[in-house]
Structure 1
Amino acid sequence: MAMNDGEAATVVTSPCGAPSAAVALFRSLGDPARLAILRRLADGEARVTDLVACVGLAQSTVSAHLSCLRDCGLITSRPQGRATLHALAHPELLDLLASAEQLLAATGEAVDLCPTYGTHPAPAAAEEPAR
């Protein structure tokens, strides 16, 4: 939906009350490659070849992630000669990432140990020996 200056955005919520735009934002930030791309763009504009070298993925994969980030309005792209330079669209994103790092520092390993989303799920309970 296109908006004019001064027009308020309509917030659509899911059945449980979470704003669907927030869900989409966090999903876009939830992919490790997209997060790495955004972290690199926090240092300044970059070409696809710069990002490929940074994240170690194929050019087509990086381009697909850039397309997602651009569609979400998180990055901008501008041509420069034969290349395209990509940049963060909103400096507020850096504040969000910094806040996330502070929250992760405060929670310690709890998020990483989350059995649903963590990278190191808690071990399964030991089975009792059969009698």
Structure 2
Amino acid sequence: MSMIDSGVAATARTELAAAGALFRSLGDPIRLAIVRLLADGERRVVDLTTELGLAQSTASSHLACLRGCGLVVGRPEGRQMFYALARPELLDLLRAAETLLAATGEAVALCPNYGAAASDVTAAEGRVCDE
């Protein structure tokens, strides 16, 4: 590979690193569930714990991950924090993902690396935010 080719490859990797981080941040079913709820409007941590059946610490950890990625913002009101989606474009991405999932059928769910069986391993390991 020439120096020009390696420079182009390095630039592509750098540009794709942000996209990879975005998809990893959305790669957890709990974080996706939180994003879906926030698509309907602001929620407090207590709302998320009630609606998703999560421990407060779990909801807070996932919100911290989403906030750290710039996908969720918090708005303080008194002693409470109301969370919302930071960017409406996230809804477009989720709609596109749903369309793609409908088109691929069960192929993604059966994927040996990232499908349902692989997700069970990740959950058993207790990962919250892959950074």
- Consecutive unaligned residues in structure 1, runs of 5 or more: 1-10, 122-131
1:62-95 per-position Cα deviation (integer Å, ceiling 9, x unaligned) = 1111111011000110111211000000000000
TM-score under structure 1 length normalisation: 0.77
- Consecutive unaligned residues in structure 2, runs of 5 or more: 1-9, 119-131
Distance 1:70 1:64 in 2: 10
Identity of aligned pairs, percent? 64
> Which runs of 4 or more aligned residues in structure 1 lie more than 2 Å from their structure 2 counterparts after TM superposition?
11-14
Query: Which of 1 and 2 has greater Rg?
Result: 1
Note the C-alpha offset of 1:117: 1.2
Q: Which has the higher helix share?
A: 2
Cα distance, 1:12–1:86 mapped onto 2, change above 3 Å: farther
TM-score under structure 2 length normalisation: 0.77
Q: Of 72, 75, 82, which residue of structure 1 is paired with 2:72?
A: 75
Q: Which residue of 2 aligns with 1:108?
A: 105
Q: How does 1:5-20 map to 2 (within 5 A)?
A: 13-14=12-13, 19-20=16-17
Give the count of matched residue pairs. 109
Measured on the aligned residues, the alpha-carbon RMSD in Å equals 1.9
